[in-house]
Amino acid sequence: MKRQDYIKDHAVILKRLCDKRDKLNVESMKTGLTKKRYQAIVADLNFTCMHIAQEEERILFALGKLRPEEARKEYQPGHFQVYEGIGGELQNIKFD
């Protein structure tokens, strides 16, 4: 894969995730939400922010600003969820 294509693809994903984050943020500010609905929005917001951070790391890697070993070791979008970082994924990427 060409570096510029990788950056473009992940920039599109990042834009979509940022738009979703903004929408969820606005939705979380509405009055009259039930506690259950508010918690669902916050959980979705946390996961969206985790995915945004991953996409940012992918783009930084493609731009040569981040080495795979410098990527986050884990993501913790909530109190009980812990996800492995994407360093291993980045190590396997080879650009043309």
pLDDT mean over 58-77 = 97
Say whether pTM exceeds 0.85. Answer: yes
Q: Which helix (H) or strand (E) holds 83?
A: strand 83-84
Q: Is residue 91 part of a domain?
A: no
| Residue 15 predicted with pLDDT over 90 | yes
In a domain, 28, yes or no: yes
Phi, psi angle pair for 5, to nearest 5°: -70, -40
Residue 65's SS3 state is: coil
In this prediction, what percent of the chain has a pLDDT beyond 90?
Answer: 97
Number of domain units in the chain: 1
Instruction: Say yes or no to pLDDT of 73 above 90.
Output: yes
The answer to whether residue 50 sits within a structural domain is yes
Q: What percent of the chain is modeled with pLDDT above 70? A: 100
Question: How many Cα atoms occupy the beta-carbon half-sphere of 24 within 13 Å?
Answer: 19
Q: Please give the residue range of the domain that contains residue 56.
A: 3-86
Q: What is the pLDDT of residue 18?
A: 98
Report yes or no on 95 lying in a domain: no
Mean pLDDT score, 65-81: 94
Reading the block at residue 21, the tokens are 């984050």
Distance CA 54, CA 14 (A): 9
78 has pLDDT over 90: no
Asked whether residue 94 is domain-assigned, the answer is no
